[in-house]
Every structure is written in C-alpha cells, then in structure tokens.
Structure 1
C-alpha cells in the first residue's frame, strides 16, 4: 500500500486527482494539502509518505520554490510535479531540482496512473514531448553543463554495446530491475553500467542521461528493442 499526498490549492482539481487515485490505486492512502505550509506539516507528521504530488501554483510558493523547500525539508520523500505549466524549461528545471516526475494537468486518467506507477517503481517520468525530443541549448542551460560536457553528447562512441542497450532501456523509462530482467543480467551489473554511462556522457544524473539518449535518437516511443 502506498501513501500519497496531493498538494494543490484548487479544490476541484484536488478532488479530481484524489478520486483518480482512489479509483485506480484503491489500496493506497491519500493525504491532501492546500498550501505549501500544510504540505510541509503533513510530511513532517507522516514518515510513511511514498510520494508527494505538488502543484506549482500554491498560494504560499512561487514557481519552483515549493519544490525546493520540500527537497530541503524532507529530502527522502520523492516529489512529482503536477502542473498546468508545460514549458520545457520549467519541466527540466524541476527535474534538475530533484523532482522524480513532471505530469501535466491535461494528462488523461490512465496515463496519469501509468506515470505514477512508473515513479513509484523507482523510475522518472517526463511528458511524452520531452521524451521524444530535447533541445541541446535548453538542456545545457538548465542542467548547467559546461561547453565541454555538452560537446560529448554528439557521440555514443565511448559506450560499449551493452551500455548502449542499457541506455536505450533507461530512455524508455525502465528501472534498473526491469533492465536487468530484459537483458538477463544482474541488477548490480546494471548499476555498474549506469554509473559508467553517466561518466562517459559527462552527465551527473539519470535524467540528464535520458535527455541525451533521446536527443541522439535512442529510446524513442514504440522503439523498444
């Protein structure tokens, strides 16, 4: 059973997403918050929280400051953004600040549930248009990569064949456990490959590696190996 928090000040949307969670994840417990202050207080009281779904329009938080406060105050609780803002820069900034997912409010019910399942299984979730294409300049600006690091993104020559396979599955949203299953290798081996991939691509996080992979054409939707 999962324990989820929905932090949104709009009663109609909060009720709607809570209803989707209760229908689609009936064994889960849902906690509600209508402000950042309430979300912080609830997080402090519930040490069993598995995920916080955070709106960027809370009355006592401007932009991504709510995400920053939550990451600083309760760093062990994953936070996913659920927002009407679909600007690519905002999405990438949120991921760079430690969000485990970014779900537009226009997301259909089944896609929302699939995204939450993916996040709760330890994966990251990005909107489909971000997964399909990424802008090199935007990515470099948001993730603060140096010019030298960005230049490394144009080639996969440093990766072994197995590392390319692992990176492709990463870009498709597979967890380390799922990659291990699909490639018939140990999960510890997958972790070793992931570490090597990050080092060779000159990035510091799984999200950055996924963006690089998609920019280079790996892991596009419906292209599972």
Structure 2
C-alpha cells in the first residue's frame, strides 16, 4: 500500500499531456497528494516561492530560461532542503555529468518504463543520487561526424545550434540590471522573492557567459 507523502512535488514541463500523466504516476505510485504543475521555468520558480512544503522538484530541460543542468544548481542553493532532478527526453551523457557535477539529485530519462521512473524517484527521495543505467555502460566509438542534437538539447550544448531565448521574467530582470537595481530592488519591482531573482541572475550569467553584473549589462 502506498503511503501518502506530506510534502508537495513540482512538475515543470511545457507539455501538458506529459505533466498530467506524470502527475498521476506521482499520486498513484509515490503517494503525493499535492502536485504543482508549471509549464514554464518562470512559473516553476513562482510556484516554489509560493509553496513552503515542496519536497521534490522535477524540471524538463526544454523550457526557455534553462540553459542546461547547471542553470538549476542555484535552485538547490536557494532551497537547500529541496530535492531537484531533471526529467528529460535527452540521453546525452554530458547533460547527466553536468547534473551530478552541479549538485542535482538525479537525471531521469523520459524513455524509462513507469516502474523504472518510480524506482529512480524513490532513490532520489531516499537521499540517493540517481543516474540512468546507460552511464555505466561502455561509451561507443566516436563517430566521424557529430551526432544530431536532441530536440530536447539545452542551449549550451556546444553543438552550434541557436541558443534558446531567455524567459520573459529573465528579460525583466536583465532590464533591471541595466538600470543598476539591486536584487532587493528588483524583487520589489517585479513582485518576486529575492531568492528567485538570484536564480534568474544565475541563469542569465550562464546564458550570456558573463562573470558579473557589469559584464552582464554590457554583453547582453
């Protein structure tokens, strides 16, 4: 019998059918009764700021505003008790390595069977870091030509593809940075939490390759 979990889980994915199906899995197999859905990165951060008891946050990589697994490391920093994992259609080893290196709790491919996804999420909820089974198999020989990028690939994949656009909220934060506003002033002007401002700033630094606020304002 599945025991109900007191905390909430956030499912951030821009495909409504996948969110609906995944939410049913979380309820029926893992006992979550509070499922928070978000279709964009901005909405996901708003839900996290509004909901004090989120236990697990699951992010797709294909949303505007997420440049790659490293974009989510500051979410962990801002919410240290939150377990953060990627649920992605991409099976690029590099993304899995980046997710682990930046302190995320796991990387779950969407191609897994339901039982495997449930097992992966149980590992994450129990405090373990989940990596997919293909990471333990030998890597194939490098092809003569680079492989075609996954349609789920993030903007910083280094594959020559156009970078994904920043999100609307990140564009607002960038405008405030150009005006010289502090994080507290930005939070007040945009009516968001100061921690959320820090998350957007980290994503902007990654997106534009900037090292500080001044460089961000001039390079972007």
What TM-score range do you get, normalising by the shorter chain? 0.5 to 0.7
Verify the 8 A CA contact 1:9 1:59 in the aligned structure 2.
no
Look up the match of 2:28. 23
CA deviations on 1:76-102 (whole Å, 9 max, x unpaired) are 312010001111111001111111010
- Once the two structures are TM-superposed, the CA of residue 132 in structure 1 deviates from its matched residue by 4.2
Asked if structure 1 preserves the Cα contact closer than 8 Å seen for 2:70 and 2:99, the reply is no
Which whole-Å CA distance do the structure 2 matches of 1:35 and 1:72 have between them?
20
Give how far 1:69 is off. Answer: 4.2
2:79 is aligned to 74
Pick from 24, 31, 42: which aligns with 1:37?
Answer: 42
Q: Which runs of 5+ in 1 are unaligned?
A: 136-225
> Is contact 2:57–2:85 with CA below 8 Å preserved after alignment?
yes
**Higher normalized helix content (fraction of residues):** 1
Q: TM-score, normalised by structure 1?
A: 0.55
Number of the residue aligned with 1:62:
67
Alignment partner of 1:125 out of 123, 130, 144: 130
Give, in angstroms, the shift of residue 26 of structure 1: 3.4
Write out aligned runs for 1:68-107 (5 A). Answer: 68-107=73-112
Deviations 1:163-185 (A, max 9, x none): xxxxxxxxxxxxxxxxxxxxxxx
**Cα 1:98/1:20, change in 2 over 3 Å:** same
Inter-partner Cα distance in structure 1 for 2:138 and 2:56: 27
Aligned to 1:9: 14
**Contact 2:11 2:35 (8 Å CA) reproduced:** yes
Provide the C-alpha distance between the structure 1 equivalents of 2:55 and 2:104, rounded to a whole number of angstroms: 13
Structure 1 segments of 4 or more deviating over 6 A?
A: none
Paired residues, number = 135
Segments of structure 2 that go 5 or more residues without pairing to the other structure are 141-220
Higher relative contact order (CA 8 A, sep 6+): 2
Q: 1:63 deviation in Å?
A: 2.4
Q: Alpha carbon RMSD of aligned pairs, Å?
A: 2.0
TM-score by length of 2: 0.56
Deviation track 1:106-153 (CA, whole Å, cap 9, x = no partner) reads 111011111111110111111011134579xxxxxxxxxxxxxxxxxx
Name the CA shift for 1:70/1:134 in 2 (closer, same or farther; >3 Å). farther
